[in-house]
Amino acid sequence: MPLDTRTLVIVLVGLGVLLTTAAMLTWRAHRHIVALGYWAAGALIGVIGMSLVMFYSVLPAGFVIPLSNGMVAATYVLNWFGVRSFGGRPIPWRTGFAAFVLLTAGNAYFVVVDDDIIARILIGSAGIAALSLLAALELWRMGPPGAPRRAKRTTALVFALHAAFVIVRAAMMPGAGPLEHLLAPNLLNGIAFLEAILAVTAWSLGFLAMTSERLQADLDQLATIDPLTGAFNRRAFFRHAEREIARARRTGEPLALLLLDLDRFKRINDRFGHQAGDELLRAFAETVTARLRKSDLFGRYGGEEFCLLLPNTDRTGARTLAEGLRVDFARRAVDFDGQRIIASVSIGIAECGSSADLDTALADADTALYQAKRNGRNQVAVSAQAG
């Protein structure tokens, strides 16, 4: 017994209303994620477009069919735009508008000029499959390898499977027998509407999962990264440092800890203002990160003081790096409000021995830093303690 297509359309519209409401509420709560706006608009337009299907036998066909199909096409265009926006890529306005116009005009032609429902289904299927595959490709390759991508790739599979179904359905249409209208009690029609219900639900939930994944990543970053300099905050640095020290104890590899303090930073703040001080801190962080390996840990200890933990590095290697950082920063000028600010850094080094803990290493590095300050600043000093 064929599935009742009118009932399936009503279910699809009702579900679309719920998903549209969820998308709009999420967008209102997180306006900074512009993609949510595209997805919410697409969901709303899709609901209106599918609602018009119920009026195919009531309103003039030359008006309602192109309008309904055009709105459905707009949904897929806006989904693609949202995916592009979510990935930080530019919006292809011209391509999207051209796709919308071509799909709408094609449907209008095969209603007004040559009434051919199979041709309309083939045109719509080609557009839906192409736009779904574009969204799938964007989602699959979105983001660096280290970023959370599970929700993106799951949603990509949803779009890819939807495109595959639409293509298979279009290929089967010519041999499925005569079709008077889209709501005809036809098994293939019923399966198509059922698949649409599943696809719309799946990609809507996928969009919400992607948003949740990003918000969680943002929260994780706020919990671990200093927003001004991009270095680990104190808590995150200590957590990672404890692990590195424990690993060094097990392996016997050398490990060096550096404390870095910008010289006379308060004087710079008092003279040029706190914004200038912030620019100087950013410039210092950039100077440091330019020389670091992936395994090195860089954290903001507090104010103008920073920490560096260098795995598999003895005091000689640590001193070489510290001297390089000291020279680099002394040569770097920060332009602010028409003035050039030049500053220096003092660095204390402690080598972590097999029995060292983080507190001991910090105390030794702090003693060496004090020695560097006492020697006239813009200096590197190494702790005499072996840790």
Q: Is the pLDDT of residue 118 over 90?
A: no
Give me the half-sphere count of Cα atoms (radius 13 Å) on the Cβ side of residue 373: 14
Contact 248, 254 (CB under 8 A): yes
Q: Sign of the CA dihedral 277, 282, 286, 292?
A: positive
Q: In the chain, where are the structural domains located?
A: 5-223, 234-382
Separation of alpha carbons 293 and 270, rounded Å: 35
Q: Is the pLDDT of residue 138 over 60?
A: yes
Contact 44, 91 (CB under 8 A): no
Please tell me the least confidently modeled range out of 131-135, 269-273, 319-323: 269-273
pLDDT, averaged across the chain: 89
Name the nearest CA neighbour of 256 among 378, 351, 367.
Answer: 351
Contact 6, 183 (CB under 8 A): yes
Question: Per-residue pLDDT tens for 14-71?
Answer: 999 999 999 999 999 999 999 999 999 999 999 999 999 888 778 888 888 899 999 9
Q: What pLDDT sits at residue 70?
A: 93
Q: What pLDDT sits at residue 190?
A: 79
Contact 347, 326 (CB under 8 A): yes
Separation of alpha carbons 106 and 32, rounded Å: 36
Exposure class string for 199-226: b at 16+ Cβ within 10 A, else e: bbbbbbbbbbebbebbeeeeeeeeeebb
Contact 235, 310 (CB under 8 A): no
Q: What pLDDT sits at residue 116?
A: 83
Q: What pLDDT sits at residue 107?
A: 87
The C-alpha angle with vertex 12 and arms to 100 and 119, in degrees rounded to 5, equals: 45
Q: What residues does 348 pair with on adjacent strands?
A: 259, 381
Q: What pLDDT sits at residue 199?
A: 95
The CATH number of 234-382 is 3.30.70.270
Question: Per-residue pLDDT tens for 99-114?
Answer: 999 999 998 998 888 8
Backbone φ/ψ region at 294: left (φ over 0), alpha (ψ -120 to 50), beta? alpha
Separation of alpha carbons 106 and 111, rounded Å: 9
- DSSP H helices in the chain: 5-29, 34-52, 61-86, 93-112, 117-140, 150-172, 187-224, 234-251, 265-272, 274-289, 315-331, 358-374
Which of helix, strand or coil describes residue 379? coil
Instruction: Look up residue 331 and give its two tokens.
Output: 């040569």
Separation of alpha carbons 378 and 101, rounded Å: 66
Q: Please give the model's pTM, rounded to 2 decimal places.
A: 0.76
Q: What pLDDT sits at residue 172?
A: 82
Q: What pLDDT sits at residue 170?
A: 86
Question: Per-residue pLDDT tens for 165-221?
Answer: 999 988 887 665 555 556 666 777 778 889 999 999 999 999 999 999 999 888 888
Contact 164, 108 (CB under 8 A): no
In angstroms, the first-to-last Cα distance of the chain is 81
Contact 116, 76 (CB under 8 A): no
To 10 degrees, the CA torsion angle through 129, 135, 136, 139? 180
Strands 345-352, 380-382: pairing is parallel
| Residue 122 or 74, more confident | 74
Q: What pLDDT sits at residue 188?
A: 76
CB count within 10 Å of CB 149 equals: 18
Separation of alpha carbons 343 and 280, rounded Å: 8
Q: Is the pLDDT of residue 4 over 80?
A: no
Q: What pLDDT sits at residue 355?
A: 63
Separation of alpha carbons 198 and 186, rounded Å: 19
